[in-house]
Amino acid sequence: EVQVVESGGGLVQPGGSLRLSCVASGFTFSSYWMTWVRQAPGKGLEWVANINPDGSDKHYGDSVKGRFTISRDNAKNSLFVQMNSLRAEDTAVYYCARERVRPERFDSWGQGTLVTVSS
């Protein structure tokens, strides 16, 4: 069974940093693009970033570019996002998802981890 499980969320002050993790199982992690999507409380979905199978190609949403860094450790079936210079508007549930290609879609999602940015 394909499964992705996020962790690392919590309360952080504005300007602070946080690193989220996502551990995958049930598929060959090193063969897939992976992505982060977030959802602010009561709001819609916002794509954050994605990364190719070997970690050499990364893309970011406009609102996080320069502040967030996506990475992966294929040996540990793990995906990460390092979030710096956090703002109140970064408060959201962060989802990790597997990305399929040709045609593209996000086909397996985790339950999410909540990040709250507040003083």
Partner 1 sequence: AIQLTQSPSSLSTSVGDRVTITCRASQGISSDLAWYQQKPGKPPKLLIYGASSLESGVPSRFSGSGSGTDFTLTISSLQPEDFATYYCQHFKSYPLTFGGGTKVEIK
Compute CA distances 71 → 14, 38, 41, 92, 113, whole Å: 23, 17, 25, 20, 17
HSE-CB of 114 using CA atoms within 13 angstroms: 5
Compute CA distances 66 → 15, 60, 84, 94, 98, whole Å: 14, 9, 9, 18, 23
For partner 1, the closer CB: 46 or 73: 46
For partner 1, the closer CB: 1 or 119: 1
Site string for partner 1, 2-41 (x = CB under 8 A): -----------------------------------x----
Q: Which of 41, 44, 66, 75 binds partner 1 (CB under 8 A)?
A: 44
For partner 1, the closer CB: 80 or 110: 110
Strand partners, 109: 97
Binding site for partner 1 (CB under 8 A): 37, 44-47, 50, 59-62, 95, 97, 100, 103-107, 109-112
